[in-house]
Structure 1
Amino acid sequence: MPHTPLPPKHRANARSMRKVMTSAELKLWNELRAHRLMGLGFRRHFPIAGYIVDFACPEKKLIVEVDGSQHGQRDAVAGDAARTLRLEQDGWTVLRFWNDDIIRDIDNVCQHIVIVAGLGRASE
């Protein structure tokens, strides 16, 4: 998959982010890595369109973002909306989960990812 050119500083930031993950990111990564979630191949801290997204499944054009409390602040909400819009313009679907949702209810988070990826059905 071709990448949008990324400045070396951003690439270095992505590498360092992979080494220092939040507890919620680590918990989700343990479910996503090595095709553990229904065979979906995810990459972590992956550069797309000049951004570094938390997790991306290139095959399904699916991005999963893990948001901490700072994402609830007004400036962050606007920035996240602009970022999501830009990624969606490139054909990506962006899912956002709060840290707390991942820590407390990883099973439902994973189920939602599978459904959006088109590999599962919503409960009836």
Structure 2
Amino acid sequence: MAGHRIYTVSFASVYPMYVTKAEKKGRAKTDVDEIIRWLTGYSQEELEDQLEKQTDFETFFAEAPGLNPSRALIRGVVCGVRVEDIKEPTMQEIRYLDKLIDELAKGKAVDKILRK
């Protein structure tokens, strides 16, 4: 079975949308980067390298140095689907990130977003 079309989209093409969404609500690019690093285990340098390489979503998550085990605590609805009910692993990782960015844009404290 072929993967979803989003898997082949470069992470770098969507990243500015995450930043814009956060900044429109008074949050900073550094908050977005912190969330992505928490979720994936990338360092800031590794994250910037992935952006520069135009890595697609599937590869971005497949090459993540250490997906945070606490991501299983992420609950809620994104695009009308509960993230905890998504069965396909790559899609679930993408939706986890979407959910975290949504929480940031809604003003939730970063410590709470990172499930601390």
TM category, shorter: 0.3 to 0.5
Greater CA radius of gyration, 1 or 2?
1
- Kindly indicate which of the two structures has a greater share of residues assigned to helix: 2
Greater relative CO (CA pairs within 8 A, separation 6+): 2
